[in-house]
Each structure stands twice: as C-alpha cells, then as structure tokens.
Chain A
Amino acid sequence: MARVSEGQLKEVFADLFGLDPNTVGDETTRDTVERWDSSRHLLFVLALEEKFNVTFTEEQTLEILSYPLTRLVLEEHGIHFTRPSKAHGERGR
C-alpha cells in the first residue's frame, strides 16, 4: 500500500496532455481535454504504469477516462493519494 501525493498524478496528466498541473481536477475528462485522443490514451496508460509501477487490466485501461476515474483505478492497485498542504503542482517523486 503506497501513499503518494496527488501532485504526482496531476503531473502525469500535465505531461501527457499539455496542461497546467494546477488546473487538473475533477473536471479533467477525455471530453474536455483536446489532446486526449486514442493514440495519446495508450501513452497515458504507459506513463501511469511506469510512474506508479502498476499494470492495469485491459478493462481498466478503457475505464480511466477522467481524473477521478484514474484516481479510483489506481486506488484499486493500492496507490493512495494524499492532498498536499501546499502547491498541487510539485515535481518529482
């Protein structure tokens, strides 16, 4: 069971979709993010798996279509997110 800061998940969204990490949140979904097409989705899945050292099931790779859903699926893999007290947009592990 790993506890990591939410900023790290936001960083993956920011890197993959060209977003400001501070704007990533519950409203960040595949429908609202321009760069989130099907070929980018594959890179997104790989980036999450590499960052959090998990392997999604095929079904999960199709489920993670928004920030809240991604959080939820990662929690199923034992990754628990803590809300940072300061900035959201911290870098690094």
Chain B
Amino acid sequence: MIEAASRPIEPEIGGALSRLRDQPTYGAYVAVSDMLDGAAAGTMPPLHVSLLTNFTVDALVPVMKGEIALAGFHPAVHVAAPDTILQESLERESGVYRSRPEVVVVALWLEGLTPALTSRFMALSEDEARSELERVLNLLDEIVSALRFHTEAPILINNFPLTLYPVQGILDAQSENSQTQLILALNQELVRRVRRFPDVYLVDYMSLFARIGGAQAIDERFWQIGRAPLGRGALMPLGQLYGRYFKALRGRNRKCLVLDCDNTLWGGVVGEDGMGGLRLGVSYPGSSYQAFQREILNLHDRGVILALCSKNNESDVLNVLRNHPDMLLREEHFAAWRINWDNKAENLRRLAEDLSIDLGSMVFLDDSGFECSAVRRQLPEVAVLHLRTDPSTFKHALSAVGFFDTLSTSAEDRRRNQMYQADRERKQAYAQSHGSLDEFLASLEMVAEIGLADDLSITRTSQLTQRTNQFNLTCRRYTESEVRAFLKDPNSRVFSLRLRDRISDLGQVGAAIVIYDGPTAEIDTFLLSCRALSRGAEDALLSEVVRIAGENGCCRVLGRYVRSSRNAQNANFYPSHGFTAIAGEEPGTTWELAIQTGLVKPPPWIRIEPGKSERGRGASI
C-alpha cells in the first residue's frame, strides 16, 4: 500500500489533529495551526488559500488552518493587509495573485464597507439609503469581476449578518425600507450578481450568525480595540463553515450514509420488542425518529447513497422496512445493506465493495458508543457520527456536520439512488443468468454515448475529476472554470462518456481530457465513475480518444498514470491496450501508442454512439 511506504505526517501533528477531531477547542486550533506553520508539508498535499479582508481576521485564521488540515491538506494561507481588497484584486501583480491561490476568500464586514448603513442609518433619506446600497453592490461587483479576471481559483465571498439592534427599534419591522430590509435586499441581490460568475460561491454569514446568536457571535470589545468583530462564539463555527467549502471544493465530501437500525431509525430493539413494540409514529416519542427519517430522506433526494449496517436478523429489519405503517424510509431507499451479527467494520468494508465506493466517502452513524469507537479504530477513513443523546437531537446532529456538502447539483446527483437500485437489479440478473460474464454484459444492451463535452456537461465533468478516485489515472482535480478553459482551448479536447443499458440510464460516468501538441495527443485525464466499472466502458472511451486523435492528424497517443493511494488496480490500463513504455521516463508513468500500428478495439458488447454535442458540431472539431 502506498500509505505505508510514504512518510507519515509528523506524529506530533497527527496527535494534535486527532485531539482536534475528538474535542475541538479554540486553543487546540491555535496549537495545531502553530505546529503546521513550523512544519514541512510532508505527505499532505498543500492547499493555497488567499484571504482578502476589510476586518482583522487574525483570530479566525488558526481555525481555518486547522480545518484545512482536518480535510487532509497542508494549509498555505496568505492574508493580505486589511482594507487592501480593491488594490489587491485590481493589480495583476499583487500579493494575492503572486501567492498562486487555489481558493480566494473575500471576507467582508458590513460596517467596514458602509458605516452609514450600519451605524448612522437615521441620517440617510430613503433615496440616500438606496443609493448607498447600490454603491456597496457595485463595489463588490468590481472586486469579484477583477478577481475572476485575474485568477481561475474558486472565490468565496460572504453575505452579511442582520443588524443586532436596528436603530428604529420595533418600528424597523414595519417599514419596507428599514435597516433590516436593506441588508436582506443586499444579500439577495448579492446572490443574483455572484451567480453570473463561474466558480464564485457565497458563504452564508447571515444564517450562521442567526444560528449562533448575534450577541455570542459579535464582540464589540475587539471591534473597538482592533477591528476584530468576531466573538468567541463565532470563531470555531465560522472557521468550520469555511472548512466545509474547502472540503467540497477539493472533493473531500462524503457520498454514502450507513445507518444503524435499533434506537437509531426507531426506538427499541426489533429482535426483542417485536415490530409492534417499536417507538415510531406521529406522536412522541416515536415522532423524533420520524423527524430523523425525514432528514435522511432529504439527503437521499440530494443524491446521498443510503445503506444499513445493523446487528439483527435480516428478516426482522426487512419486515419493518416493508410493513411498519409509520416507517418513512423503505426498502427502495437503500442501495445496500448488511444485516447480520458480524463485526460492523467488516460489514462496512463489504458495503464499500458492494457499492464500489471507497471507505473515505462513507459516514457511519450509530447510537452505540462501543460500535462507534470500534469503527473509528478499525476504519479511520470512515467518518463516524455518534448519536449520543435524545432522539429529538438526532436530526440536527446529522445536519450540523455537513458531511455531504456540495457546491453544485447535477441531474445525476438527484438520480443517483435510482441508479444504485438499478444496480441491485443488475446484480440479481447476473446471479440468475448462470451464463458467462460476456453473455451477461451483452444482455445489458449497453450504449456508450461518447462526445466532446459542452457547457451542459462542465459541472458534471468537474465533479467527476474531484470525486473519482479508483479509476482515475492521473487524479488531477479541476474546478468548473478549469474545465471550461480546456473546452475553450483549441489544443485540448474534453470527452464525456454517458452510459445507458436496458435497465437504466447511468448518465455521464466518464471523462477524458486530451491535449494535442503537434503529432502527439497526450491524455491528461482519464477517469470512470465507480458505478460504471467492470463493464468495458473505459475501453470504449479509450478507443474513441485514440480514433479521434488519429482523425485530427496525430500519430501517437501518450497515456499517463500517476499513482495515488486508491488507483493502484488500474496501473496497467495503458499497457493492457497495446501501449508501450517510453524509455527514459520513470517506469510505469508514461506510455505511448503509435496510431498506425494499432487502434484500441472497443468491447463488442457496447454500442458506441456519438455524443450530442459532437453530432451538432461534427466529429473532428
């Protein structure tokens, strides 16, 4: 395994990080942040973040750094001097751009932007207040446009908390042009303006500060002393909120929720209390479990894969899923389950295999402290959520952690669970076919739609580069704007692969990015989603990449393989298709195929159709 061979994170930092994970305190964040500042990146890949602010963020930075480290990256955070946002974003040689950021954070405090609106509202006429609002919006627009022009990095910009005590008191709530209404209008207009730019995301300070409670979150002492408005109640939640963005941007979010049953989905133990004895229904205490199930259903509808891992007789649990009148979660909501008396860590491993996902994308949820700590110890890559108190708290415990955060939704996300269900049917069909694998694959009547990506497939293609780990030959992660740049570049081609069969449409499951350089076509990225593995779809995609390179006048194709901790099983993909090693390169990393001598043959059981955009534009564009 590659993990064992490479240098571990310095044990001191590893220890401090696990303390931070188990029991976060502000002091622990500061300690970890100091250690990281003094240490080499080691095995953690760096994440360069550039901060532009109009208030003092010194106290927030350690929490951000700790969160970046918890996401598995070595934080390289560059903080521009306060109140230099405009200069820094307009000047192309400024410190922000020179720090080559992978994420730009613009953190703004409304009082710094417009003291008139926040502190001297009564001095403004209605018209003046409106034009002040417009001035702030135009300023933000100018900053974001400049940043978007000079860097491809995703940009995070925040909206604004409401005024704690509106100057007009209770009268404020009666007017359409009140202080509160103006800040709401500002926040709303900000969403509209930000959406016009690719890869710019809003950080919702307004909701966060409402959750914390303004009085805990905002500290007038430090605002007066050093323009540092964040109070002790805000630092950790705000840093952690940024952490959720960093995780989502770098593909460290989770995909699958694995649930215990007894005292998690319902109150009581089905094996002892029987189906009739369970606490589950519209009135208390069973209502808490229904509320929790509704929250889980929301995740399901967002595309989170659901699975069960329970120590029970399978028939007892299935009976509840099928027949209990108050269950909201039913058999069809689960992509897989392991209901038996085996060790839960072992069952989680098997579930990961069943679903072809890796353990690092799983969240395990249980009410038993014993099971939670056993899983934490045996499978450290699985995120564990221990439901430790009353069932009425389960719902918020699950929502608060934001394990499944994404920054975009593609149609595939919403349909993912249907696809896993179709997959279960396919496995049953295979089990019943008794024939050879080839016969089974042929019986699926697969159609691969392979063409050049277009505007509609940018989001999904970027997601695939961020999320795919097993069949991903170079593991290069691209944001939407980076994918768009490849699309625009006349010397590169972005291929998209959509797959369907007689059971379902799997949507876009593959992508390849190819860079043409004279006679050479180099495959920069080649990946296939785990849910389309073992069907030969990768061979179909490679055959098209090679064929179209030939049509474009290339005479050789270069394939690269960059080993990661999870893609070892595909190290020989290129040589198994007739590619040969290139002398002089590090062995196992670069392969070439001369197009005259061999095209790659697609598997006979897949029919290849040109993709939609390609049909529109002609095959060799």
Contacts and interface: CB of A to CB of B under 8 A. Distances in A.
A9 B23 CA distance: 16
Nearest to B34: A18
A46 B26 CA distance: 8
Given A18-B34, A91-B19, A42 B25 contact: no
Contacts of B222: 42
B123 interface: no
B31 A18 contact: yes
A11 B58 contact: no
Nearest to A91: B19
B31 A15 contact: yes
Contacts of A69: none
B9 to A, nearest CB: 18
Interface stretch (B224-232, B446-454, B527-535, B557-565): B224-232
A50 B221 contact: no
A63 interface: no
Contacts of B25: 15, 47, 50-51
A42 B226 CA distance: 9
Q: Closest 10 A-B residue pairs measured CB to CB?
A: A15-B27, A15-B31, A49-B232, A50-B26, A50-B232, A47-B27, A47-B26, A12-B27, A46-B232, A43-B59
Interface in B39-95: 58-59, 62
A49 B230 CA distance: 13
B58 A42 contact: yes
Contacts of B137: none
A15 B28 contact: yes
B235 interface: yes
Contacts of A39: 58
Given A39-B58, A42-B222, A47 B30 contact: yes
Given A42-B226, A51-B26, 12 more contacts: A15-B25, A15-B30, A42-B59, A43-B30, A43-B62, A47-B25, A47-B26, A47-B27, A47-B30, A49-B232, A50-B26, A50-B27
Interface residues of A, number: 20
Given A39-B58, A43-B62, A46-B59, A16 B232 contact: no
A14 interface: yes
A9 to B, nearest CB: 10
A55 B228 CA distance: 16
A28 to B, nearest CB: 15
A46 B58 contact: no
Interface string B10-24: 000000000100010
Contacts of B231: 46
A46 B232 CA distance: 5
A16 B23 contact: no
B164 to A, nearest CB: 16
B593 interface: no
A63 B27 CA distance: 20
A61 B222 CA distance: 10
B238 interface: no
Contacts, number: 52
A16 B27 contact: yes
Contacts of B221: 58, 61
Nearest to B216: A55
- Identify the interface centre among A18, A42, A43: most chain B CB within 10 Å of its CB: A43
B127 to A, nearest CB: 39
A82 to B, nearest CB: 19
Contacts of A47: 25-27, 30
B236 interface: yes
Interface of B: 19, 23, 25-28, 30-31, 34, 58-59, 62, 221-222, 225-226, 228, 231-233, 235-236
A17 B596 CA distance: 67
A42 B228 contact: yes
Interface in A7-34: 11-12, 14-16, 18
Contacts of A50: 25-27, 232-233, 235-236
A55 B222 CA distance: 12
Contacts of B23: 92-93
Nearest to A56: B221
B31 A14 contact: yes
A18 B26 CA distance: 14
B226 A11 contact: no
A73 to B, nearest CB: 15
Nearest to B24: A50
A50 B28 CA distance: 11
Interface string A61-84: 100000000000000000000000
Contacts of B62: 43
Given A42-B58, A42-B228, A51 B31 contact: no
B235 A46 contact: yes
Contacts of B30: 15-16, 43, 47
Nearest to B31: A15
Contacts of B31: 14-16, 18
A33 B329 CA distance: 58
A37 B228 CA distance: 16
B547 to A, nearest CB: 60
27 contacts: A14-B31, A15-B25, A15-B27, A15-B28, A15-B30, A15-B31, A16-B27, A39-B58, A42-B58, A42-B225, A42-B228, A43-B26, A43-B30, A43-B62, A46-B26, A46-B235, A47-B26, A47-B27, A47-B30, A50-B25, A50-B232, A50-B233, A51-B27, A55-B232, A58-B225, A91-B19, A92-B23
Nearest to A38: B226
A18 B31 CA distance: 7
B220 to A, nearest CB: 10
Contacts of A16: 27, 30-31
Contacts of A61: 221
Nearest to A49: B232
A18 B27 CA distance: 11
Contacts of B225: 42, 58
A1 to B, nearest CB: 21
B235 to A, nearest CB: 6
B523 to A, nearest CB: 47
Nearest to B230: A46
Contacts of B59: 42-43, 46
Contacts of A49: 232
A59 to B, nearest CB: 11
